[in-house]
A and B are shown apart, each in its own frame.
Chain A
């Protein structure tokens, strides 16, 4: 099997991740709908969860079959294009489940008689968690190694080299793109995590003290997994660069070698997210001492557009906990969030323009 023969792999990965993502969500947030703790076992939720798994699994199987079928006969990019309809179908499944749960929730008025509470732990600010800077060292080391190897190889390379995808491009463009890609991935991901460290913790009103501790452990574990993923993405870019710089040559199944670090990093991140759950709700957390609030989380569904996008102009937070899977999302009601989006898009566009200009 050649590297081209694994073109269905992204389709399989995206399908699997979308299928299992709701398993990481909090029990009190089902398909983007906030539900009271007493209603987490409602029949409609169990029914919609099963239906979602069935639908997304069927979608993934169909898309993988199509991708495997067409990859030998159609242009190399076609299996990747399949990602778009696959993602759209999965999102439709999500929205169907969300709509059905929200309909029952509103009809039965699940929040009637409850007292929504917002809880925070001031020690989050007075004794904040420390960003694990040491876990950035592997990524920085890989970037340094790339720069050193590139500097050593560059003088002896021909003016134009043939990349792994068969394009003939200038050696300066290839080298610059690899370095820019590493800088981009490392800067954006670690920068976003730094913002997350300054954001509010995801605390449950019903169990504030324990959920604060669990969130600390969740944040530490996810940060380490993400920084490891960054180092592995940089390694993948280094391996691609080494191939283009003619340091090594692989054929057959060996051509997938550069992709392996990214695949390992993504599996690791998915495993950590599955183990911790969103905000660390799957982790054990026992706290001795006072628990001052035993309330219900506020019903904030109106701020979540399509159950996925958080838009709240009155909330000064830039990033908040995501409602699908485990992670964080931007508060699009905050102008600072739009600046971040613009920065990320501008950087991607810049890389794409350089790539197109180089003829890759």
Chain B
């Protein structure tokens, strides 16, 4: 898995590490049971402080995506094929999604563009093709494949 961060970007590095690993799990590049580098190794490879990586890994552990052990190291605990998420997590995620969509709406983004952006993003993840073929406001499956036209 290639893991890239922007050290001078606005997002904290530990958050970027967490985000990239979540994306890799969702995209099937890092399936359940697969190993990740130890915190020290990843800190060396990225040239960042050990505690920064530790913080990112700890977030993933709290979210139930990573298992950290002294002997086994960092191992992906679950992925899309591991079954439905906990109800509590779904509630939390829905709340964050609501805020994310509110940001787009507040910025004046048309609903069709929001839906199209969602569909384009989901094509990157390990969803079955049939799961992406739901009826939307005006978007078609073909439009979804055209990328994130109109997105900032």
Taking beta carbons and an 8 Å cutoff, which residues of A are in contact with B? 115-126, 199-201, 205, 208-209, 212, 290-293, 295, 298, 312, 314-317
Contact = CB atoms under 8 A, between A and B. Distances in A.
Given A314-B49, A316-B43, A116 B6 contact: yes
Q: Please classify how large the interface on chain B is, using the bins under 10, 10 to 19, 20 to 34, 35 or more.
A: 20 to 34
Q: Interface centre among B1, B30, B48, by most A CB within 10 Å?
A: B1
A314 B45 contact: no
- Describe A's contact surface by its main secondary structure: loop
Contacts of B44: 199-200, 315-317
Given A316-B40, A316-B50, A124 B45 contact: yes
10 contacts: A119-B3, A119-B4, A121-B2, A121-B3, A122-B30, A122-B37, A125-B41, A125-B45, A295-B4, A316-B40
B9 to A, nearest CB: 7
Contact of B42 (A120, A209, A295): A120
A117 B7 CA distance: 7
Interface string B126-149: 000000000000000000000000
B35 A126 contact: yes
Interface string B84-115: 00000000000000000000000000000000
A314 B9 CA distance: 18
Contacts of A205: 4
Contact of B3 (A116, A122, A199, A298): A122
A199 B47 CA distance: 11
A293 B2 contact: yes
Contact of A122 (B9, B42, B43): B42
Contact of B36 (A126, A209, A312, A315): A126
A120 B3 contact: yes
Nearest to A111: B8
Contacts of B34: 126
Contact of A118 (B29, B30, B47): B47
